Copies of this chain bind each other. A is one copy, B any other.
Amino acid sequence: MAETGTKTPRERYRTQVRAEIKERAWEQIATAGATALSLNAIAKRMGMSGPALYRYFASRDELITELIRDAYRSLADTFRAASGSGADAAALARALRGWALDDPQRYFLVYGTPVPGYHAPDDVTAIASGIMATLLDACAALPADGAATPFAAHLEGHRQWADGHPAPSPALHRALTFWTRLHGVLSLELAGHFAGMGFDPALLFAAELEALLGDLGAGSADGG
């Protein structure tokens, strides 16, 4: 049951039905959020009765976990594609924003409010490591400015998350700030906290990116 490619017509059918279930699930999530995902509603939309779906996913949580897995994979693919033509941090940032705006609920599935008891399976954290590796590549390729920060020194002693990546610790620090700052703008934007404030979130995102790239030698990150 393992080393055959896509073989038996039953498995073919099975993967197809699983794919359609996930498709409908994404539709539901996009319009009503992950908490409102209903297996019964998906089944009815597919012309089946509720319990039929349990042949394909053991539980609602397993379906959501699978969707989270796909979301991580999608982000990793997007990152890989964006960094294909050379490790470019700016391209990575733009790709991240595009990916986030393309399906905000997918972004929240990865970076949103976690369920307190939930632990991501190992393969998901492995994908996350790959995403981080791509980001580290781009950050290590940036021109390094002079002095290391105190936090970079701390990272020198806590770099196991880099998973053997040879980036110097200032690049590690830069990668983390890249992550947290872009996520800070994106998550607030997608959550609607900028709605009605009037300014253009894209410009704030661009300003943060500029600060991340530009304050290497130049000046202030947040202006003034």
- Report the minimal beta-carbon distance from A188 to chain B, rounded to whole angstroms: 6
Q: Could you say which of A36, A113, A179, A185 has the most chain B C-beta atoms within 10 Å of its C-beta? A: A113
- Closest Cβ of chain B to A152, distance in Å, is 5
Name A223's contact: one of B34, B151, B222 (CB within 8 Å).
B151
Complex interface residues of chain A between 79 and 126 (CB less than 8 A to chain B)? 105, 108, 111-117, 125
Tell me the count of chain A residues lying within 8 A, CB to CB, of chain B: 74
User: Is the C-beta of A155 less than 8 angstroms from some C-beta in chain B?
Assistant: yes
A196 at the interface (CB under 8 A from B): yes
**How many copies are assembled?**
2
A107 to B139, CA, bound (A): 30
Most buried by B among A35, A206, A219, A224: A224
| A144 proximal to B (CB < 8 A) | yes
* A148 CB–B CB distance under 8 Å: yes
**A residues in contact (CB < 8 Å) with B:** 31-36, 105, 108, 111-117, 125, 139, 142, 144-152, 154-155, 158-161, 168, 170-171, 173-174, 176-185, 187-188, 191-193, 196-200, 203-204, 206-208, 210-212, 215-216, 219-224
